[in-house]
Structures are given as structure tokens and as C-alpha cells.
Structure 1
């Protein structure tokens, strides 16, 4: 990549978020690194970001991430740190915790996990011992790596048993869940996935967990932002521990958090620090506090509901273009589709979509061959797109998979009308 001057580049003016003292300082000191950052800003602005796990944070969140709090070492918890000079960062963490407790109605929140996977690791550490049996959604049906993958700590340290989905409906097979739970008597049951587009029946999961004396862990990394905005049911009243991320629909910094009842608070906190992590990332925690404040507003509630409405519109429009929509639709920001009706598999479709400027992931196809594609509406909704744009995007999807001429220019034209960070 050639070195340019991003802030003053006439052909591609920088978004306003990059016209800041910090970025100008980076440009003066290290133009090569600045050019890389600017290149990513242009990539995000010139294409459609439809990875279900991605979103655009606000300039306020970005400001907290780039703050002097990044300089502070703060092992431990507010009022009980292993380092001096933590009075200010203690206030930042307390603010994040209190805002999250109010937002989700949780008795206790730990905002220190560095990621969603870190949160799940700490939840397991708080409840389980190596070799314990855990029941979780199988990876072929949408389960996460931390739900028993042999390549992950979860599959190496615990005995995972997988439940799946109904072959006809694609919905969680609750009868199978009950049968497996009664047979294997797991220590914990995990409710959650990375590509399941429907609301989990948390009450049913709680009933099964109580039936066999298991803990219920809700991995709500994807839906927690919809929960914050009142657009999805909350797992907090049902689960012993809720693990979540603070990015995705929640639109905060990349990171994790854990919500639980007061009776598990000490076990959860000790599982995060000192058992699985060292010093907290205080700049990220401050950014989480900002994001929680934003998520408590009526504007965010409107955003969350619009994200779901957009996903439903997109699913219907994709079906009209010949894609097979998994589970027949969606309740969330996630849409899963099988592109076989257009003569390609998921990996081929993803490559053609990427070439056109539409960025997304592949996903497993339950009881099918090959892979499908998983997309989300969180980021494009943040950009201000509505249901009309979803119909337009579905047409662009079909055109990209067919490799129609000119589709990339049409994608860029749509993206240009909705800049994530206006200049």
C-alpha cells in the first residue's frame, strides 16, 4: 500500500472521525501506519458490512478507546487493585457495571472479559471442573467454538454432548434436548449459537436444566444488543450465568461481559481475575460504559427494532431472489441462507459477494451438504439503511452470485449514500 496523506486526500476525503488531533499526530509520526488505518476506513465505507458479528461504534466509543486510560494497569477490581493510582479507572469500571446492571436487570455484572470467548471460559471456570459433562448446541447446527470444539479449550477440558435442530423446521429440537439431558445428566447446559436466527426458548431451557440439576449458561453474544433495545427476550431471568459480547448489535468496543445473580458473583469475579485474565483493559471498559449509556436511550431501542425489521425484510427479499432462507425467516439480526438455488455453494457465493463489495460469512447447513452464508443487518442499520435498502441489497446479492457486470459499482453507489462516519 502506498503512503498517502489521508486527512487531506482530495479524491477520498477522510471521515470526520479521522480528522482528530490523535490521528493527525499519527499521520505526522507514522504515515505508513496512518495509511493502513485510513485504508480500512475507506474499505468499510466503500462496501457493505454484513458480517453478523460486526457493527460501527459511535465516535464517542472510539474516543474512549483512544483515551489515556489505555496507559493504566489495574489488576483486580474497584477498591481492591494490585496497583496504585486507580481511583479514576475505578470510577470508569463502576460506571460501566452500574449501567450494565440497570440496562439488563442483572444483580451482578463483570465487564472485564477481553472477548466473548474469555467470558465463556470464565463462566465454565466458575461452574465446572475439567471432565464435567456439558450439553451445548453442536457446531454443525450453529454452536460456537467454545461449545465443545476439539480445537478449543472447551472440547479439550470438558465432555461436551451436542444437541441439534429439527431436520424439517431448523428449530432447536427441545425433545432431543430433554432426552440427552436426562441420559447424560450434564453439569451445565449452554443455550446460544452463532448462526441460529430465532429467539431461544429460555424458559424451556431453564425447565430442562432444573429437571436434571444443571446450571444454565446463556451465550448471548449475538442477541444481547437486541435485548438491550427491547427487541429480543432477555436470558437474565432464566440463566445462572449470561455471557455476552459488547460489540455486535450492542455497538460497543470489542470485548465481553458476564451477568449473573448475586450468589455467583464472587465465583464469577475470581474466575475472570485472577484465574483466566490479568490486568483489565481500562480504556475498553470506559468505552463499554459509553456504549451502555447509548444503549439505554430511546434512539437505540428504535435502532434495535429497525435492525430486526430489516433482517426480516432482507430474508423475504432473498427468498424472492431464489435463496433458501434457513428456518424460513428470522427473529433477530441474523439471516442464514443456502445459495444452492442459484447454482453455487456457500464458499463460492461468499467469494463472489466479496468481489462485489458485500462482506459476510459462511455458516453450517444443518442436515445439508456444503455451507451456507450467514449475514447480519446490524451495521447497515447503524448506517441508516431501512427496509427499502434491504430489498435493493437482496437484488445485489443475486447479481453478485450470478457475477453480473457492474454489480460492484452498484454496491459502491449504495454504500456511498450511507457513510458510517460522515465527513
Structure 2
């Protein structure tokens, strides 16, 4: 990844790109929403399709010259249908949030009611936070996890739904480490005559590989990202039954966006093709096994895991018991200084600011892409504990950083 043409045209940008390659190679990426795409996906996303306007859908474009673009989008759609078993797929959303916006536009009117998981309990901004369009356009009520167990409070969800009478119930999460009972939530939605929107942004790849239950065919709409636990082009997607196909397609274009980013759609097509290979199931299984190993390592060291563990690709750590004087933000900064990159995160019952919360969130998707197994992940967990126990000790940070360098060299990236 030398970026020769960029360097010839713009040395400053080329230097920044080279710095980013070095950063990814020489740090441990544990941000749960990140992964390392293959060179093939990166090349597809950087292709000449960036030049092409293709407003509309395959065979029904508003511009001429869309034959190759049609072929790429049709490949992405057909591969997505095979991966997730969906009747209808729209691969044009620029992000998971835009996919959610399109579903809301397809089904709701401004002022309608949404019931969704509270942000500090693992939900997402686009599920109805007041700082987001969803919270500004719709009336929002939120359900939570059980404060004792950290698991979704399904009975509480049903009670709130019965009282609030929502027009849509959003399931799915940004920071919830357990499997979701889609059928149970769907039954609640049916009982109150609400649409069920399942957001699988974080677990798209785990669902495709069959290591997490699928909401496809259960929820009315399934939205997701295409670059987290599945290593495809960066963006979003929507899956639904044929009865909602026209409404969804019209909501995406011209409803919430114009021309699709066809170079990103190309990356989706390539990444979906890679996910159809048998090796992807092995990868997804290893992601979950690694997350469990990471959680066990942290718990054995005395850290408190929300829900006590994980079934997915991420662990959520509440620092308040083990490290009451250490915020999630300070933990994030100390770990990054040692080469371990994750994020501070809110936790259920949050008592600090969202900008400097009480927890940290760590994912295993990217490290698994680099070839880390349970043994290597357990060592990473030990390194995390060392930093959390001495976040300002320069000797400790230097020693951890040295070991991180060795682990990165043993698991090379983009060589």
C-alpha cells in the first residue's frame, strides 16, 4: 500500500495514508465496530466506480452508462440474499444509520412512536437518541437491560410497549454482549401492532455465519452495517420481505440519499463473496471464541463484565467496581498509548458523562482477522489488565507497548 499516485499528486495526504497503514499494522485494533478489509475489498472501494453516478436501481437508472454498475450491484444483492436468506435486499445505504433512517421513512410519519434500547444500556444513536434525527422526528420511549443481570429485560420491554403503544420497536444494539431473542421481541411488536426493525449492525457477519440467531424472516425489517463483523465495503444495507420492497427502495432513493456510492457497493459485493466461502464461518466462530476468552481473562483479573460475559464479538467492562478512580476515557487513552486501541463506553446505570464514561468496550473481529487465537487473545487481555492497573506508570506502558509490537509482528497486516 504505497499510494504512488496519491503521493505524486498530494504528498501530504499520501503521508497521512501511509501513517494510517502503519498505525493499523502496529497497533491492536479492538474497537468493536472496526475490522480489516481484504486488499480485494480495499481495491474495489478505491476503484473507478467512484466516478459513476447511478441514481436508481439496476435496469432503472436515471443516467446512461450504468451497465457495469448494474452488474456490481446485482452481485452484491444476490450474494446478500444467499448470505442472510432475505427476500429483498437494498445495498445502497451509505451507513447503518442511513439504513435505519430509510426504514423509518418507509413506515412512519413524523411524530410517530419508536420504542428502542436506551443508549447507555447498549442501544444506538439512530434508535432514537434526542441528538439524532430519530429522536428529533419521532416520539421515543426506551427499554433497558435488567440492572441485576445485564441481560435484556424482555418483560419490561413488553410492559413499556403495552403502555407506550409504539408504531415501531427497534431491536439490536451497539454495545450489548448477548444474543437477542428476536422472536420474543417480534411477539411484543405483534401484540401492539408495531413494525419490528432489527438492527444487526454489529453482528451482521455473525448472523451470516450462523453463530448468532438471525432476525431475517422474523422482523419486518433488518438493517445493518457491512464492515464490522463482516469485512465488506463500508456502508449499510436493508433486508425485508417483498411486501415492503418498494417502500424501502423508494425511501432509500430518492427518500434519504441520491446516487449510491458505487465504489462502496463494489466493496460490498467483494466482501459478501468472501463471506460465502467456508473459511468465513470458521472466522466468525473464532471471533466469538476469542471474545469469550477475552472476557474470561478480564473477569479472572477482577474486572466486572456487563452481563457477566459475552455471546458475541464484544465485551463491555464496567470499571466502577475494580477501578473506581479510572474513567473509561482515561482507560482508553492509557491503552492507546501502549498500542491497544479500544473505546470508552457507557454502561447500564451510567454515573459519568457519555464523553468520559464508566466503561470500556473491546471487540475481537479485527484481531481475529489478523490470525489471533484464544491463547493470543488471553495474552492481550492480560496486557489490558496491566495497563488498567497502572495507567500512568511509564515503565508498565513501555513494557506493554513492546509486547504489542511483538504481537503485531507475529500477526502481520497488509504485508
Query: What TM-score comes out, normalization by structure 1 length?
Result: 0.93
Other-structure match for 2:355: none
Other-structure match for 2:334: 352
1:312 to 292, 313, 319: 292
Q: Deviations over 1:163-190 (max 9, x none)?
A: 0010110111011111011111110000
Indicate the larger mover: 350-359 or 46-55. 350-359
Separation in 2, partners of 1:199, 1:126: 27
Counterpart contact for 1:141–1:366, Cα < 8 Å: yes
State the Cα distance separating 1:368 from its structure 2 match. 4.3
State the Cα distance separating 1:411 from its structure 2 match. 1.4
Instruction: Specify every segment of 5 or more residues in structure 2 that has no aligned partner in the other structure, as ranges.
Output: 353-357
Q: Secondary structure at the match of 1:88?
A: helix
2:221 to 241, 255, 264: 241
Separation in 1, partners of 2:198, 2:40: 29
Q: Deviations over 1:321-358 (max 9, x none)?
A: 22111101000001001233134221221111111111
State the Cα distance separating 1:369 from its structure 2 match. 2.7
2:386 to 376, 380, 399: 399
Separation in 2, partners of 1:145, 1:399: 32
Other-structure match for 2:117: 137
1:275 to 233, 255, 271: 255
Counterpart contact for 1:338–1:345, Cα < 8 Å: no
State the Cα distance separating 1:406 from its structure 2 match. 1.7
1:367 to 346, 349, 372: 349
Other-structure match for 2:29: 49
Other-structure match for 2:135: 155
1:146 to 126, 140, 158: 126
Counterpart contact for 1:321–1:394, Cα < 8 Å: no
Counterpart contact for 2:234–2:267, Cα < 8 Å: no
Counterpart contact for 2:120–2:350, Cα < 8 Å: no
Separation in 2, partners of 1:322, 1:339: 10
Query: What TM-score comes out, normalization by structure 2 length?
Result: 0.95
Separation in 2, partners of 1:209, 1:172: 16
Q: Secondary structure at the match of 1:337?
A: strand
1:413 aligns with 2:406: yes
Q: Deviations over 1:256-292 (max 9, x none)?
A: 0000000000000000000100001111111101111
Q: Secondary structure at the match of 1:248?
A: coil
Indicate the larger mover: 409-418 or 231-240. 409-418
Q: Secondary structure at the match of 2:229?
A: helix
Q: Deviations over 1:137-173 (max 9, x none)?
A: 0112111111111111000000010000101101110
Separation in 1, partners of 2:160, 2:302: 36
Counterpart contact for 1:143–1:194, Cα < 8 Å: yes
1:62 aligns with 2:49: no
State the Cα distance separating 1:51 from its structure 2 match. 0.2
Q: Secondary structure at the match of 1:140?
A: helix
1:378 aligns with 2:360: no
Q: Deviations over 1:54-100 (max 9, x none)?
A: 00000110111111111111111111111110111011111110110
Q: Secondary structure at the match of 1:249?
A: coil
Separation in 2, partners of 1:186, 1:245: 25
Q: How many pairs does the alignment contain?
A: 402
Separation in 2, partners of 1:254, 1:175: 36
Separation in 2, partners of 1:286, 1:252: 9
Counterpart contact for 2:233–2:266, Cα < 8 Å: no
Other-structure match for 2:167: 187
1:98 to 65, 73, 78: 78
Q: Deviations over 1:28-69 (max 9, x none)?
A: 232222111000000111111000000000011011111111
Counterpart contact for 1:115–1:245, Cα < 8 Å: yes
Separation in 1, partners of 2:194, 2:10: 54
Separation in 2, partners of 1:336, 1:420: 26
The 5 Å alignment of 1:69-108 reads 69-108=49-88
2:181 to 201, 214, 218: 201
Counterpart contact for 1:74–1:82, Cα < 8 Å: yes
Separation in 1, partners of 2:13, 2:141: 46
1:221 aligns with 2:201: yes
2:376 to 374, 385, 389: 389
State the Cα distance separating 1:385 from its structure 2 match. 0.3
Q: Deviations over 1:237-264 (max 9, x none)?
A: 2110001000001111210000000000
1:167 aligns with 2:167: no
Separation in 2, partners of 1:321, 1:411: 19
Counterpart contact for 1:322–1:342, Cα < 8 Å: no
Q: CA-atom RMSD, angstroms?
A: 1.0
